[in-house]
């Protein structure tokens, strides 16, 4: 039979196809970023991981606010035809939060009760954490460490994550025996009487928290309904019988208790000024104030109603028709003397410092909270009113609010020609932006160290500290970026 190989040294035949190349792609890499706290560094190996390959870096390098796409720099591992190649397009979304905390074993409060050797482990968690499994699943002889598999509930930035490192120790013992009947456990029956299930009163719609609002001598697994109902309602528990009883490990589903759900209190928030002009504060009440009353008593002082406020915890004592009514009816109330001269309280922008007041009185100039004013080249914002402080002299209204932006010099590469020019033939130096990094800036002032005149024309900019990505600014305003640099010839 004739040899149909391509040649005498080739392993392939004329009528056969060579094997397809095996390439390492983002699918094999399995790049993932967990949710985190805005501003924290993304730690490779814990916050950012891959299933295969070597994870070299992540961009952005810190958690951004809200849901953000993060890009990885990954080296293909051995065993693939593109071994050593760098993948830069693998990405994953994660959420950065400033208000939520991480759900950990501490919040889960995993607990294992002592039990009888060979029986199922009785364990529990708190604060809404779901206990999926325990290993080992039955009691071992003596003191043993038990490890839980727990799912983090909503309300934490890592909600849905499975915790696998939560542990607790418990002791497994041989069941006591009755000397008259060595084959039978010497234990009593655990019933709802021993369970002593109780639910405290709460607010309608809020969760009945196990271990806080609802308690039991057994392992309390759940309560139904799980939220407080209006008025007096019956709540039913799901309880695992602990060790030491003849029915240890059984589930009780008929233990009940009653509790009362009360409506949440509705508050009305108001800005008020002391009747003698001594200061402005915010208060709250359980009755509407605006349109019904012109004065309130708070902390022993009479105040005049000034407008709608924001949430606070300063509860008023009572409302009154006006300041005269409050001062007449409340003997010795504060705020009822001749008002002192009032000025605007000011906070200096850069460097930040409070304790300043305007040269004009509140009757000579009209300003609002957070208005930006200027004296010479120094900017201030209005924080309220005051009768004393360090006078800055007469202020000028700018028509803006808040402090002006920062002016920061950043080392960059810049081109007015093209992205290829700035990425492949970088040239630059220190130029000025309205924040501390190109990524966080939205205005570009080129060489203007006072940050007053925006750059004119189109500029392609690479932050020297984070090469590989460029940003586009048109007439000083950022229009796009970060954008991956094109390949260089």
Q: Which two tokens stand for residue 351?
A: 């460097």
Q: What pLDDT, on the 0 to 100 scale, is given for residue 142?
A: 85
Q: What pLDDT, on the 0 to 100 scale, is given for residue 440?
A: 83
Residue 303's nearest CA partner among 313, 286, 284 is: 284
How many CB atoms neighbour CB 3 within 10 A? 8
SS3 384: strand
Q: Which two tokens stand for residue 251?
A: 């589930």
Q: What pLDDT, on the 0 to 100 scale, is given for residue 175?
A: 59
Rounded Cα distance between 344 and 365, Å, is 9
What strands, in cross-sheet order, belong to the sheet with 444-446? 444-446, 428-433, 408-415, 458-463, 469-474, 477-484
Instruction: Identify any residues that bridge with 78 across adjacent strands, giving them in sequence order.
Output: none
Q: Which two tokens stand for residue 26?
A: 């983002």
pLDDT in tens, 386-414: 989 999 999 999 888 888 777 888 999 99
Between strands 202-203 and 181-185, the pairing is unpaired
Structural contact between residues 222 and 248, judged by C-beta atoms closer than 8 angstroms: no
Rounded Cα distance between 15 and 94, Å, is 50
User: Residue 382, by phi and psi: left (phi above 0), alpha (psi -120 to 50) or beta?
Assistant: beta
Compute the mean pLDDT over every residue in the chain, rounded to the nearest whole number.
87
Q: What pLDDT, on the 0 to 100 scale, is given for residue 448?
A: 87
Q: Can you point out the beta strands (E) in 364-457?
A: 371-375, 378-386, 390-391, 396-401, 408-415, 428-433, 444-446
User: Residue 53, by phi and psi: left (phi above 0), alpha (psi -120 to 50) or beta?
Assistant: left
- DSSP per-residue string spanning 3-67: --BSSTT-SSBTTS-PPPP----HHHHT-EE--EETT-B--BTTTEE-SSSEEEEEESSBPPSEE
The list of the chain residues with pLDDT below 70 reads 1-19, 175-187, 338-340
Residue 420's nearest CA partner among 454, 450, 460 is: 460
CA pseudo-torsion sign 146, 150, 156, 160 = positive
SS3 262: strand
Distance from chain centroid for Cα 378: 35
In the block, tokens 């196809």 appear at: 17
Q: Which two tokens stand for residue 69?
A: 């796409």
Structural contact between residues 71 and 86, judged by C-beta atoms closer than 8 angstroms: no
Helix (H) or strand (E) holding 303: strand 301-308
Q: Which two tokens stand for residue 380?
A: 């201030």
The model carries a pTM of 0.32
Instruction: Identify any residues that bridge with 408 across adjacent strands, giving them in sequence order.
Output: 433
pLDDT in tens, 234-283: 999 999 999 888 788 888 888 999 999 999 888 999 999 999 888 899 99
Structural contact between residues 51 and 110, judged by C-beta atoms closer than 8 angstroms: no
Q: Which two tokens stand for residue 6?
A: 């391509």
Q: What pLDDT, on the 0 to 100 scale, is given for residue 452?
A: 83
Q: For 439-477, b where at least 16 C-beta lie within 10 A, e where not — what string?
A: bebebbbbeeeebeebbeeebbbbbeeeeebbbebeebe
């Amino acid at each position: 039979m004739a040899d149909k190989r391509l040649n005498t040294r080739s392993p392939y035949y004329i009528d056969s196809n060579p094997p397809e190349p095996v390439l390492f792609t983002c699918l094999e890499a399995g790049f993932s970023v967990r949710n985190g706290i805005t501003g924290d560094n993304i730690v490779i190996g814990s916050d950012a991981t891959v299933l295969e390959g070597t994870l070299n870096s992540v961009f952005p390098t810190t958690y951004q606010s809200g849901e953000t796409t993060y890009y990885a720099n990954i080296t293909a591992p051995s065993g693939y035809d593109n071994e050593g190649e760098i993948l830069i397009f693998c990405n994953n979304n994660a959420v950065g939060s400033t208000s939520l905390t991480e759900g950990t074993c501490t919040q889960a409060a995993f607990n294992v009760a002592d039990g009888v050797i060979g029986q199922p482990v009785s364990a529990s968690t708190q604060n809404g954490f779901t206990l999926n499994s325990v290993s080992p699943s039955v009691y071992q002889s003596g003191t043993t460490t038990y490890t839980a598999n727990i799912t983090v509930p909503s309300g934490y930035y890592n909600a849905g994550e499975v915790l696998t490192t939560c542990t607790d120790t418990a002791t497994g013992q041989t069941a006591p025996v009755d000397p008259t009947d060595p084959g039978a456990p010497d234990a009593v029956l655990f019933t709802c009487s021993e369970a002593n299930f109780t639910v405290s009163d709460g607010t309608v719609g809020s969760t009945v928290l196990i271990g806080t609002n609802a308690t039991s001598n057994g392992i309390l697994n759940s309560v139904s309904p799980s939220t407080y109902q209006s008025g007096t309602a019956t709540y039913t528990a799901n309880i695992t019988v602990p060790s030491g009883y003849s029915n240890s490990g059984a589930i009780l589903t008929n233990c009940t208790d009653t509790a009362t759900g009360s409506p949440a209190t509705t508050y009305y928030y108001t800005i008020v000024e002391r009747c003698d002009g001594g200061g402005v504060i915010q208060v709250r009440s359980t009755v509407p104030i605006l349109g019904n009353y012109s004065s309130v008593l708070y902390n022993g002082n009479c105040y005049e109603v000034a407008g709608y406020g924001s949430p606070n915890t300063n509860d008023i004592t009572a409302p009154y028709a006006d300041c005269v009514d409050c001062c007449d009816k409340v003997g010795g109330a504060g705020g009822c003397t001749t008002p002192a001269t009032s000025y605007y309280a000011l906070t200096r922008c850069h460097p930040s410092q409070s304790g300043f007041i305007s040269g004009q009185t509140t009757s000579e100039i009209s300003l609002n909270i957070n208005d930006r004013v200027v004296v010479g080249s120094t900017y201030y914002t209005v924080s309220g009113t005051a009768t004393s402080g360090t006078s800055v002299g007469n202020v000028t209204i700018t028509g803006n609010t808040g402090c002006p932006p920062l002016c920061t010099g950043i080392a960059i590469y810049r081109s007015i020609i093209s992205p290829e020019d700035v990425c492949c033939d970088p040239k630059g130096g220190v130029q000025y932006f309205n924040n501390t990094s190109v990524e966080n800036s939205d205005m570009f002032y080129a060489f203007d160290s006072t940050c007053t005149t925006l750059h004119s024309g189109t500029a392609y900019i690479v932050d020297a500290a984070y090469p590989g990505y460029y940003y586009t600014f048109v007439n000083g305003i950022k229009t796009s970026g970060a954008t991956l640099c094109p390949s260089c010839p």
